[in-house]
Structure formats: C-alpha cells, structure tokens
Structure 1
Amino acid sequence: MLDPDPTSPVPSGTPETEVAPVLVAALLAVREPPVGPDAPCRTLRDRLAAQPGLPALAVTAGDGRVLGLVDRLALAGLADPEAPARTAMDPAPLLVEADFPLCEVARRIMRDKPGALSSGFVVLENGRYLGIGSGVALLARTDEQIVQRTRQLDEARRAAERANRAKTAFFACMSHEIRTPLNAMMGFAELLEQEVLGPIANPLYRDYARDIAESGRHLMDLINDLLDLSKAEAGRLELAESAVDVLRVAVGSARLLSDRAARAGVGIDTDLPPDLPPLRADERKLRQMLLNLLSNAVKFTPPDGVVTLNGRVAADGTLCLSVHDTGIGMTADELEKALEPWGQIDSALGRNHIGTGLGLPLTKRLVELHGGRLDIDTAPDRGTTMTLVFPAERVGG
C-alpha cells in the first residue's frame, strides 16, 4: 500500500527510449484511505504505527473533500488519545493536483509550506482526495527523473557527436570530389583567358573565361569554408603553426581584395607599422581570417567608402589586426545573426553581393582556435571595426 504505482504514461506515439516520461504528483500518492473528522486519534496513531513510511493521514468529508491532515508529530503530542481527529489536524495542509510535475510540487512546498517535506501533503484528483505524498518519495522520484534526464542528454550528446563526425566526413569526401573537376574547369578557363594556344577572335570569350575562372575560385573558397567550419564545430580543426610574417600576410590580403573593392567603388588603405613582430600562427588561416574581414567590410561599404586595415601591438603584448569600414554598421540583433553560421544581414547593400554567411562565424572560430578573440565595435550608420586579438604568448614567433 505504501508503494505508489511506478508506471507513468508516455505520450502517444513517442518511443519510451527516446523521451523520458514526465513524472507527476500522482506517482507520489500513497492510496491510504482517509479518516473522518470524528475518528479517534488512537485509531490514527495505530494506523501510522503499522506503516512507518507513511507521514500522515488525511481527514476528509463524506464527499472526498479534504478537511485537513494529521501527521505523526501532532499525534505524539496529543494528551487524549480518544480526541477526534479534527482536534489534531492541520486544517490548511499543502494540496497538489495529481497532474502537477514534480518540479511544481517542490516549488509549492518551498513557497507555501516548507514543513510539508516532513509532515507530508495531500495529492488531489479533480479536487478530491487521492493519496498522501511525502518528502522522501518526492526526493526519490526527483532523483529518478534526474537520472532519466541525464541519460537522455548523454544519448542526445552522443547522437550529436556522431552526426558531427558524419557531417565532417561527408564534407571532406564531397570537397575532394568537387575540387578535382573544379580545378580542371578553372585551369581550362585560365588557358582561354590568357589565349595560351592562340588568339581568340571575339574578345567577349576572354571575358566569359575570366568569369568562369572567378566563379570557380569563389566556389572553391566556399567549399574550403564549409569544410573548415564543419571541422571547427566538431573540434577537429588543427593548426599548422609557424612563425608568420604578419606584415607580408596583411599587405598581401589587402592587395588580393583591392580589385574587388575597386569594382565596388571602395578604397582599401593599410596602416601597418613596418616593425610588426612575427606571430606563431597558421599562416593560411590568418590570411583566411583577414580576407573574410576585408571581404565583409567591402561588401557592406557603399561606393566612395574606405576600408582600413590596421595593425599594432597593444600595451599588454597582444597583437591586434583591425579592419575598419565606413559602411552601414549593424544593430545588436544584426550582429548576433551575422555571427551565426549561414546568418545573412537583410540589407539592400548586402544583397548586391555574393555571400554565404560563413565568413564571420568561421573567422571567430579560427581566432579562438589560436587562443585569441574577435572584438567587434559597430553601430548603424557608424561603420564597423572588427579586431583579431592574438594572445601575447604567440607574439614574437
């Protein structure tokens, strides 16, 4: 009689192994028959003595309405064992409905009647007496629920890790399969553009060949970003570290973007001291980060605007590489969206340029992989400054 029904309904159509059932107050209810208000306290004392795990007995009216609760402590201090139950009962016990989740039961106890942890409480069904609940049963069931949820979360984590590994393997395989024909297409397009095998009568063909090669390079960059971001999310992206000439990489990155910026009517300036120290980093990934930031800055800067690449060693020894633009800037919500993979800022200026939304989140992952951080200072109509901050221990090679 003291063991409540251990079963709990699982939502229809949901496998029990996939979703842990929600434990409710009905599971705590010991279906012990209540007593009437005129029952002698001696009878209540004898019943509780026979059931050591039962904290109290409910006192109800004939229609099942709960009038009160008589616990062991109240009976122990009673002088007249023949006194009616109403004289020893708590007329305002804690009442909880059978469908209350266990967390709600615990919240009600803490908020309304902390003493119910030891004295017990009444579980109702449709406002009528169902059984007696105890703090011990609540703690046991709560522990069971924690174990179930922990097991469920562990399985979800393992499933997510398996999915990440499968995704990384898929991208690695597909990137290899795509690179081979793509490299061939780009190579043949460059041969046509340079007229290696002889002049082309119609100059438009050279323009088309250049467009094909440029589109191929963009697609190759996208494939590389996809693979790198997938590896970063799975924690499998590794650094090929060396002493990097920061000035050379920074100037080269600005030069690579200068043609694209010129076509957009945007200027690129560099403000880089000639004595920038070397940095222990992955050179390809450093160049990738700078190209991503410069490309984003050009993309969101209107014609006649300026993008400036700065470099300096801060007072704390960190190396800072900043890209500042005079573009449209971002709100806090837009910045949050831009830092999400595939995030696209909805602006007329941005829609005029090709973009995947991978550059900024990938850059953030890459600088963090170096032990650094990405600082962003932006506001609408004030432009944006994005700064790669590398830790002091990496500065100097």
Structure 2
Amino acid sequence: MRVDTEIVEACPGRTAADIAHPVTPISSSTSCAAVFRRLIAAPNVHDWPVCVSGSGQAEAEKIVGLVNRQEFILAYTVMYGKELYGKKPITVLMDKSPVKVPVSLSCEALNHLLVAAGRDSMRKGFIVMDGDSYVGTGNFADVLSAVAELMATRAVERDMALERVEQANVAKTNFLASMSHELRTPLNAILGFADLVRKETYGEMSPPNYRDYVEDIYQSGQHLLSMINEILDMAKIEAGHFEISEDVFDMEITLSRVTRMMREAAAKAQISLSSQIPEHGLPLVRAGERHFQQIILNILSNAIKFTEAGGAVTLDTRLNENGDVLLVITDTGIGIDPSMIEKVFDPFEQVESSLTRTRAGTGLGLPLARAMTEAYGGTLYLTSEVGCGTRVVVLLPAHRVCHDWSATEAVNAIFVA
C-alpha cells in the first residue's frame, strides 16, 4: 500500500523521515532460517525490508516486501515452523504489500493514517520513501512517541498563550479601573457645580435659556458617570474583585423605585412602561440592593432604548413553586436574531441594527446584569426574534428569598449562616 503524496500535511513537529530506521534490505532469495538468525542477532530491528534478489539496490520498485519481527518469529517458531519454512525464501513469510509513506508526511498525519487503516497497520511496520528511493522503516510505537512529543509541545505553547492572554486581560482591567477613577474625580466636580447652578442656589440665572444649557451639562455628566461606573464594575468582575452584599430589602419597594426612575425615559421615547406584582406581594430578598437595582435598571434601559415609539415594556414578577423568584422584562422592540443572542452578553459588544447606530452605549448593560445575577447564584437568560421583541428572565434562587420572614429574622439568618 502506497500513500499518495497529495495527503502530505504541512503540520509542525516530526515527520516520517525523523523516525525512519535505515535498515539495510535483505534479498528476496534469503532463506527464512537466515532471516531468523539476523533477527536474533539484531534485537532492536523491528522490521526488515525485502528487495528483489540480485538487485543490489534499494529503489522503490525493488522493495517487494517487509518482514515484521513479531509475526515472523511467531510463524517460524511454532511446531514444525522451522522445518516447514527454514529452507524456503523469505517471500513466503513477508508482507507483500507493506505501507509506504513519503518522508515529508508528518507523524500526526501518519498516526491518523495507520489508525484509520486498522489494527494490522498499527501492528506492522511501514516503509519510508523519498520519491523512488528507500529511506528506512518505521513502526507505530515511534509514531506514537513523536505524536506525544508534539502534543506536549502544543500543551506548553497553549499554556503560554493562555498566560499571555490573562496578563493582557489583567493589564486591560487595571487600565480601565485607573482611567475610570481618574475620569470620575473631575466629573464629580462638574456634576456638583452644575447641580448648584441648575438649582439656582446662589441666585437666578440670566438669561433664562442658560437653564437649558446647564441642565444639558448635568444630564450629560450623569450619563457619562453611569458609563464610567459600568466600566468600573465590569473591570472588578473580570478581575475577580467583585464583592457581593448581603442586604435584606423589600423587593417590591425596590422594583417600584426602579420603575419610577425609568418612567421619564419611557415617556420621552413614547413607550408605555408597566409592572405587575403578585396580589399577595413579594417577599424580602437577601442580596445587594444596589446591585439588584442596577440589574433591573440595565435591562429596562436596554428594553426602552431598542423599542420604537408606540411600543411597550413590561416588568412582570412571579414566584415559583420551589421558592425561586422570576423577574420577566418583555418589550415589543426590534428584537435580536437568535443566532446573535449570546453576543449581546459579551462586554463592549452590540448587535448591529438601525437603532444601535443612533442609540449606542458601552455595550456593558446586559453583560453586567448577567454577571451580577450569577454572582448571587441566579441566572439570566434572553429569548428574542427579529421584529418580535425581546424577553429577559432573571431568576433569583430560593435561598436568596426570605419567605414569610420579617426583616429582623432575615438579618439574623445572615449571621447564623
């Protein structure tokens, strides 16, 4: 069996030439008894190539077979084997169709070839050829050794590449955190003075249209501060420095506050915003209230941002039988292609649409919401279709819900735990 050179792969690592053993071929007229003596005298030779009797050369067309040590000795040493084969030429016990491979074939490709060919090919040896010239013999054990060496090298390279990526990620996170702190300091001063002016603390502004300008400065500053805080929070999460809180708060009050905060934005966008609370109310929750509020704010803000005028956004809260709390935010917006859903949870990523080009943000809203939810043992998932809106579900596990507890009992439970 000859391997077509077209299957040669440009794989890194050792090739057939590197593992070839330059064993001198024996003549096809050599007796089996003589071959047996040679094998006993050369215990390290696994396979012996056979050439045409009298050729005196090792050309490809002259190599007519291969003697496998194990198979030959088993056949020759069985009862009457010596008497039966001793005086006969080696051609009776050789493999007349040995596997022939080019010198440039990678050991990885050779391994795939021998495995695909079956057990016989893995047990028997093969002949390595350089065009029409014989180079040597090879065996499966050498192939496995070369492949193992290649795998070990790749593992080291992969670990080094992973370490470089982690170092780059840490450097990026540290840079973002440092930059965000540096930006927030002067921004707080701008917001503070803008707030004093807009409230006319030291007297009425003149002319009156300055009020609009100052209001724009203040609102733009608040928006920028929100973006900086998102970057800081994401930097903490990626660096593994995010700290959860164990507040005990009334979820119903928090959700009402968040809904009120978003009503103005919804009204400006001409979108209806409604919330539904179970008739029996909602239980207390043990988690970070600020983080919980930010999760819902991020989702509602995203829903309003990508819902066109005349649409609707709904916040629905449910209690599962197992004690979990479900918060479902549904909008009638532009929707997302199902194949792109996971992309929206990648930091700084946004799915391209006509609205993203005019209402772009940091791309951190949903990634932050999911990361914070998971930090408290919850889950956040999203379903959507283009043109049919989006549905975001936040699940808080039962152990975070204080069913039928007072605030005092819930606080005590934290310290007992």
The 1:299/1:126 distance shift into structure 2, 3 A limit, reads farther
Post-superposition Cα deviations, 1:231-271, rounded to whole Å, max 9, x if no partner, equal 32333322122223212222222222221121111121111
Count of residue pairs the alignment pairs up: 379
The 1:39/1:197 distance shift into structure 2, 3 A limit, reads farther
User: For residue 195 of structure 2, what is the aligned residue in structure 1?
Assistant: 190
User: Structure 1 residue 301: deviation in Å?
Assistant: 0.8
Alignment-mate amino acid for residue 293 of structure 2? R
Task: Indicate which of 325, 332, 342 corresponds to 2:331.
Answer: 325
Task: Indicate which of 304, 318, 322 corresponds to 2:310.
Answer: 304
User: Structure 1 length normalisation: TM-score?
Assistant: 0.87
User: Structure 2 length normalisation: TM-score?
Assistant: 0.83
Other structure's SS at 1:115 match: helix
Runs of 4+ in 1 over 4 A off after TM superposition: none
User: For residue 26 of structure 1, what is the aligned residue in structure 2?
Assistant: 17
Alignment-mate amino acid for residue 285 of structure 2? L
Structure 2 stretches lacking a partner, 5+ long:
1-9, 77-83, 403-409, 411-417
Identity of aligned residues (%): 36
2:191 matched to 1:200? Answer: no
User: For residue 16 of structure 1, what is the aligned residue in structure 2?
Assistant: none
Alpha-carbon RMSD: 2.4
Q: Report if aligned partners of 2:60, 2:129 keep a CA contact under 8 Å in 1.
A: no
Alignment-mate amino acid for residue 186 of structure 2? P
Q: Report if aligned partners of 1:116, 1:134 keep a CA contact under 8 Å in 2.
A: no
Matches of 1:361 and 1:382 in 2, distance apart? 22
Alignment-mate amino acid for residue 83 of structure 1? K
User: Structure 1 residue 295: deviation in Å?
Assistant: 0.9
Alignment-mate amino acid for residue 70 of structure 2? L
Q: Which moved more, 1:39-48 or 1:300-309?
A: 39-48
Structure 1 stretches lacking a partner, 5+ long:
1-10, 12-19
Q: Report if aligned partners of 1:97, 1:127 keep a CA contact under 8 Å in 2.
A: no
User: For residue 97 of structure 2, what is the aligned residue in structure 1?
Assistant: 92
Matches of 1:231 and 1:124 in 2, distance apart? 59
Matches of 1:39 and 1:202 in 2, distance apart? 115
The 1:28/1:188 distance shift into structure 2, 3 A limit, reads same
Q: Which moved more, 1:257-266 or 1:44-53?
A: 44-53
User: Structure 1 residue 184: deviation in Å?
Assistant: 0.8
Q: Which moved more, 1:160-169 or 1:306-315?
A: 160-169
Matches of 1:30 and 1:389 in 2, distance apart? 64
Kindly report which structure 2 residues correspond to 1:1-397, keeping only aligned pairs within 5 A, or say none.
Answer: 22-60=13-51, 62=57, 63-65=59-61, 66-76=63-73, 77-78=75-76, 79-126=84-131, 128-273=133-278, 275-396=281-402
User: Structure 1 residue 127: deviation in Å?
Assistant: 5.8
Other structure's SS at 1:374 match: strand
The 1:143/1:187 distance shift into structure 2, 3 A limit, reads same
User: For residue 6 of structure 1, what is the aligned residue in structure 2?
Assistant: none
Matches of 1:389 and 1:128 in 2, distance apart? 70
Alignment-mate amino acid for residue 49 of structure 1? I
User: Structure 1 residue 51: deviation in Å?
Assistant: 3.4
Post-superposition Cα deviations, 1:15-43, rounded to whole Å, max 9, x if no partner, equal xxxxx953333332222233343444445
Alignment-mate amino acid for residue 126 of structure 2? F
Q: Which moved more, 1:295-304 or 1:95-104?
A: 95-104
Q: Which moved more, 1:387-396 or 1:112-121?
A: 112-121
